A and B are shown apart, each in its own frame.
Chain A
Amino acid sequence: MFGLHYNLERSAVGLVAFIVLVASIGGLIEIAPLFTIDETVEEAPDMRVYTPLEVAGRNIYIREGCYACHSQMIRTLRDEVERYGPYSLAVESSYDHPQLWGSKRTGPDLARLGNKYSDAWHTIHLNNPRDVVPESKMPAYRWLLRAQLHTDDLGEHLAALRAVGVPYTDEQIANAPLDAYGQANPDSAAAGGVAKRYGDATNIRLFDGEATRLTDMDALVAYLQVLGNLTDAAHQPQPEAE
């Protein structure tokens, strides 16, 4: 064996080929089957897609690096299920490009945050967390209420998401900026189209409490309120947590 190696280390091309071969095996065996084995991702016929406003909010969540301190993955452990709710299923993040499972809980898990607190609580909390949780270590995101949300390219966002596999319709893509506005302005004419295109379960509310304009706060709160609510699959009977 060491004799063979004696020859291998005299050949640069041989070393390169062998390194690539040896290093490729693990990934191929662990990743490729995840795309082909059907059991990997559960069936969820009721699965909804994110609305344009929720997509925009998700992008703000990414922009501000929220994932560095908050996970969105409840593990199959008894204490986690009791603290946060039913453990996360693969299907729940199947429209998440990329997933935001996270790796660290400086703050709590957010996988089942949706509709747990009021919109007003979220708006106050994001504006300055210590106004509602005095011991909090989260930064105050005061600029979210000041920033006007960019909606003009939301159609392109939805089209790109469709290119990677999220089933958006042409109609949803064409009306994306309008639907973003409508979802945060329930009394406007645009609100009806949102329910029609995204289902009656969609939250159509004044997320930041103001009807006048669409802010980054509207989008982020809309996203936080849909977390865990795209499908009911996790609330169906599942094997018990360890």
Chain B
Amino acid sequence: MIADLTRAERLWAMLILGALGLIGLAMAIGGRNDLLGIHGWIVLAAGLGGFIAVMRGLDAPEPSAERLNEYYDAPTRVGLILTLLWAVVGMGVGFWVAALLAWPDMTFDVPWLSFGRLRPVHTSGVIFGFGGNALIATSFHVLQRTTRARLPDQISPWFVLLGYNLFCIIAASGYLMGLTQSKEYAEPEWYADIWLVVVWVVYFAIYMRTLARRKEPHIYVANWYYMAFILVVAILHIVNNLAVPISLGSAKSYSLFSGVQDAMTQWWYGHNAVAFFLTAGFLGMMYYYLPKRAGRPIFSYRMSIISFWGITFMYMWAGSHHLHYTALPHWVQTLGMAFSVVLLVPSWASAGNALLTLNGAWHKVRDDAVLRFMALAAIFYGITTFEGSFMAIRAVNSLSHYTDWTIGHVHAGALGWVAMITFGSLYSIVPSMFRRERIYSQKLVEVHFWLALSGTVIYVFAMWNSGVIQGLMWRTYTESGGLTYSFIDSLVAMHPYYIARAFGGLLFLLGALTALYNVVMTIRMPAPAADDAALDIPAKPALQAGE
């Protein structure tokens, strides 16, 4: 990766990494009596390690000007591997916390092994580690192909990818130490949040600078989604994480908002993290990789316009359905419910557009597990968005809220939609990205597909059952008008489903491990003699601004 940088870029990299190291040192000294200090050492190690690595490569030969004739895919390659590593971490911890709910004594009196601290490692590991790396890696790939322009330089993509992973490491290690803001999916503390904003600004700049040099007059639909993902996540992240640290030498902060305003802001964020991180970004992925793999054009351009703006506009109203029957004013609950129900229209327009694109290519879906991953993802997207709209109805929500039904719904989306579209996309570009003729084993892709599908189905059915039983038990009355079940009765009834859920999760984890093995073995295969990937180049030599 250092060999790809020009000499000027290497000097910039040293400057940035040196500054990062100094920030880490300041955190380590300022926070020496606090857990912030430990994060300071991690940042210092990252900055210093990077600085030394670049310094050692400073005098290596500069990359040839030929590189400007090709797309810049090295960050995508690293991003794909990081995606798989985070998948194993996030899903592995997920399996473990699922097991803890069945057998709670496996905490072994170790604070960082307790459910409450591991659970955000699972959620952030999967959403931000696995999902975020997949989005960054594929967005760089899709952006270049659909604009026929090379990324603007060799340094900012690395800054985004590696800086983002530093954020993920700070987040996950913080949870284990008990550092959390407690706001779901926005748990990292103030300094990690500030760092993510810096990374995000550079990410956005890469997008705009590449689009500015595009050779295609039209910006392809996949890029609308990636742009909405970058922009709206920035808005959500900044507003929801507004907080006052107790001092610059402490990791602890108090959120600016409290009570009902904080709850509404949190679920405006939380629901739209689902919408713009886990939906918009992955729809961008779907709009590029699914038609490409199927060899068919997108079914309807107009449907894609309607669904894009429908999702961008309406999702932002839907967050209040997380707060039905709470102390949130009734009018906000009603607005949230109404928009959640109407959201089904653009959601199904997207899912339908994807499935109709497969018309004429269904024989490929049958034969090709990679395309089947993507087709199944579109089906799960349709199922989950229907379920989401349904659960947002107040009367349904009165039963489903606070129960495992929500967990089942989330995993139908996360396993069935997000992970399946990611694995499909990943398998479809790994051979060309690593310049291999094919994936190491098509059979293993097939094995992975069936592990993922059966794991998802077992997981989701277990949680649907436990959630509905739980919700019904809580509201069952005896003939004399008293509550029939104590809370602990409902918890005891969950036990078999918690075991089934852990088993489903284990199957899904085994699938992810299969993918990691398959990709590693693909990379280890000998490169083909003739470089087929040479066809995958920009339209004309891409002139670089300032070079």
Which residue of B181, B211, B329 is within 8 Å of A37 (Cβ)?
Answer: B329
- Of A98-106, A192-200, A204-212, A219-227, the one touching chain B: A98-106
Chain B 250-294: CB-based contact to A (< 8 A → 1; otherwise 0): 101111111111111110100000000000000000000000000
Q: How far is the CA of A71 from the CA of B102 in the complex (A)?
A: 20
Contact A23 B313 (CB under 8 A): yes
| A156 close to chain B: CB less than 8 A | yes
Within the complex, what minimum Cβ distance (angstroms) separates A148 from chain B?
A: 14
Q: Give Cα A101 to B259, complex, Å.
A: 8
Instruction: For the complex formed, measure the closest distance between the CB of B326 and the CB atoms of chain A, giving whole angstroms.
Output: 5
* A12 touching B211 in the complex, CB below 8 Å, given contacts A34-B332, A161-B254: yes
B266 & A139 in contact (Cβ 8 Å cutoff): no
A46 within 8 A of B: no
A79-118 vs B, Cβ < 8 Å mask (1 yes, 0 no): 1101100011111111111111111111111000000000
Q: Which residues of B are found within 8 Å of A139, using beta-carbon distances?
A: 100, 104, 107, 114-116
- Does B227 reach chain A (CB closer than 8 Å)? yes
Known: A19-B312, A40-B329, A143-B109. A30 touches B320 (CB 8 A): yes
Question: Which bracket fits the contact residues of B?
Answer: 35 or more
Q: Does A240 have its Cβ within 8 Å of any Cβ on chain B? A: no
| Pair B104/A137 contact, Cβ less than 8 Å | yes
State A34–B235 Cα separation when bound (angstroms): 19
Chain B residues within an 8 Å CB radius of A20: 231-232, 235
Of the residues B180, B258, B488, contact of A93 by C-beta under 8 Å:
B258
A135 contact set on B, CB distance < 8 A: 488, 491-492
Q: Mark out the residues of chain B between 15 and 32 whose CB falls within 8 Å of any chain A CB in the assembled complex.
A: none
| B258 CB contacts on chain A under 8 angstroms | 93-99, 164-166
> What are the residues of chain B within 8 A of A156 when measuring CB–CB?
246-247, 250
Using A69-B115, A98-B182, A164-B254 as known contacts, say yes or no to A10 and B219 having CB atoms under 8 A apart.
Answer: yes
Which A residue sits closest to B118, measured CB to CB?
A: A65
Q: How far is the CB of A69 from chain B (nearest CB, A)?
A: 7
Given A5-B305, A62-B182, A156-B246, does the pair A22, B262 have CB atoms closer than 8 Å? Answer: no
Residue B383, interface by CB 8 Å: no
A73's nearest neighbour on chain B, judged by CB, is B326
What residues on B are CB-neighbors of A59 within 8 Å?
252
Q: Which of the 9-residue segments B83-91, B399-407, B516-524 touches chain A?
A: B399-407
Q: Which of B104, B114, B259, B403 contacts A96 (CB 8 A)?
A: B259
> What 1/0 mask marks residues of chain B from 306 to 327 whose CB sits below 8 Å from any chain A CB?
0001001111111110111111
**A153 part of interface (Cβ distance < 8 Å):** yes
Kindly state the separation between the CA atoms of A65 and B318 in the bound complex, as whole angstroms.
Answer: 26
Q: Within the complex, what minimum Cβ distance (angstroms) separates B271 from chain A?
A: 10
Are B327 and A15 closer than 8 Å at their CB atoms? no
Contact residue among A34, A73, A103, A160 (Cβ-Cβ distance under 8 Å from B184): A103
Q: Does B228 contact A (CB under 8 A)?
A: yes
Bound CA span A227–B11, Å: 56
Q: How far is the CA of A28 from the CA of B314 in the complex (A)?
A: 13
User: Would you call B104 and A71 a contact (CB within 8 A)?
Assistant: no
Residues of A within 8 A of B398 (CB): 75, 77
Q: Does A171 contact B (CB under 8 A)?
A: no
Report the Cα distance A130→B305, complex, angstroms: 56
Whether B264 and A160, one on each chain, are in contact in the complex, defined by CB atoms closer than 8 angstroms, is no
- Decide if A181 is an interface residue (CB 8 Å cutoff): no
Judging by beta carbons under 8 Å apart, are B266 and A98 in contact? yes
Residues of B within 8 A of A104 (CB): 402-403, 406-407
Query: CA separation between A79 and B266, bound complex, in Å?
Result: 26
Cα A156 to Cα B245 with chains together (Å) = 9
A67: chain B residues at CB < 8 Å are 182
A-facing residues in B304-360 (Cβ within 8 Å): 305, 309, 312-320, 322-329, 332, 335-336, 339
Q: A24-45 toward B: CB 8 Å interface, digit per residue (1/0)?
A: 1111011100110101110000
Q: Which of B102, B117, B325, B403 contacts A75 (CB 8 A)?
A: B325
Interface residues of A in 119-175 (CB under 8 A from B): 129-130, 133, 135-143, 153, 156-157, 159-161, 163-166
> Which 3 A-B pairs give the minimum distances between C-beta atoms?
A65-B116, A26-B316, A63-B178
> Can you report 14 residue pairs joining A to B where beta carbons are below 8 Å apart?
A16-B208, A26-B313, A59-B252, A65-B114, A71-B402, A77-B398, A89-B327, A90-B259, A90-B260, A98-B254, A98-B258, A139-B104, A160-B244, A163-B244
